[in-house]
Structure 1
Amino acid sequence: MTASPEPNPAPGLRAKKKARTRSAIQRQALRLFAAQGYEATTVEQIAEAAEVSPSTVFRYFPTKEELVVSDGYAPEVVEAFRAQPAELTPLQAVRGAIGSAFGGLSGDEVARRRQLQELVLTVPELWAASLGNIKQTQRMLAGLVAERAGRDPADAAVRSFTGAVFGVLLEVWLRWAEDPDLDALEALDRGLAHLEAGLPL
Structure 2
Amino acid sequence: MTSVTVPTRPSLRERKKIRTRRAIRRAAYRLFEAQGYDGTTVEQIADAAEVSASTVFRYFPTKEDIVLSDEYDPVMVAELRARPAQEPIVASLRHALLGPLREMLADEGEFEEMRQRLRLVRSVPAVRARMGENIQESSRLLASVTAERLGRPEDDFEIRVVVGALIGAWSEAIFHWLDADGGADLAAVLDRSLELLAANLCRPPA
Cα 1:21–1:160 shift into 2, 3 Å: closer
Report the equivalent of 1:133: 134
Distance 1:55 1:145 in 2: 36
For residues 11-160 of structure 1, the aligned pairs below 5 Å read: 12-70=11-69, 74-105=73-104, 106-160=107-161
Which structure 2 residue ranges, 5 or more long, are not aligned?
A: 1-9, 202-206
Distance 1:155 1:20 in 2: 36
Runs of 4+ residues deviating >4 angstroms: 11-14
Q: Does 1:169 align with 2:170?
A: yes
Given that 1:71 and 1:136 are in contact with CA atoms closer than 8 Å, whether structure 2 keeps it comes out as no
**Structure exhibiting the larger radius of gyration computed from Cα positions:** 1
Q: RMSD of the TM alignment (CA)?
A: 2.4
Offset at 1:12?
Answer: 4.7
Cα 1:72–1:60 shift into 2, 3 Å: closer
Deviation digits for residues 108-166 of structure 1, max 9, x if unmatched?
21221232122122101111222221211111122123223333343332232122212
Offset at 1:38?
Answer: 0.4
Identity of aligned residues (%): 47
Distance 1:22 1:73 in 2: 13
> TM-score, normalised to structure 2's length?
0.80
Report the equivalent of 1:7: none
Offset at 1:193?
Answer: 1.2
Distance 1:28 1:71 in 2: 14
What amino acid sits opposite 1:95 in the alignment? R
Cα 1:78–1:56 shift into 2, 3 Å: same
Distance 1:181 1:123 in 2: 23
SS at match of 1:117: helix
Report the equivalent of 2:3: none
Offset at 1:73?
Answer: 7.4
SS at match of 1:188: helix
Cα 1:15–1:194 shift into 2, 3 Å: closer
Report the equivalent of 1:5: none
Deviates more, 1:64-73 or 1:89-98: 64-73
Distance 1:160 1:19 in 2: 32
From 191, 194, 201, the counterpart of 1:192: 194
Given that 1:146 and 1:158 are in contact with CA atoms closer than 8 Å, whether structure 2 keeps it comes out as yes
Given that 1:28 and 1:49 are in contact with CA atoms closer than 8 Å, whether structure 2 keeps it comes out as yes
Distance 2:111 2:44 in 1: 25
Offset at 1:14?
Answer: 4.2
Given that 1:71 and 1:132 are in contact with CA atoms closer than 8 Å, whether structure 2 keeps it comes out as no
Cα 1:167–1:18 shift into 2, 3 Å: closer
Distance 2:58 2:70 in 1: 15
Distance 2:15 2:136 in 1: 29
Distance 2:82 2:40 in 1: 41
Report the equivalent of 1:6: none
Given that 1:121 and 1:177 are in contact with CA atoms closer than 8 Å, whether structure 2 keeps it comes out as no
SS at match of 2:68: coil
> TM-score, normalised to structure 1's length?
0.82
Distance 2:73 2:57 in 1: 21
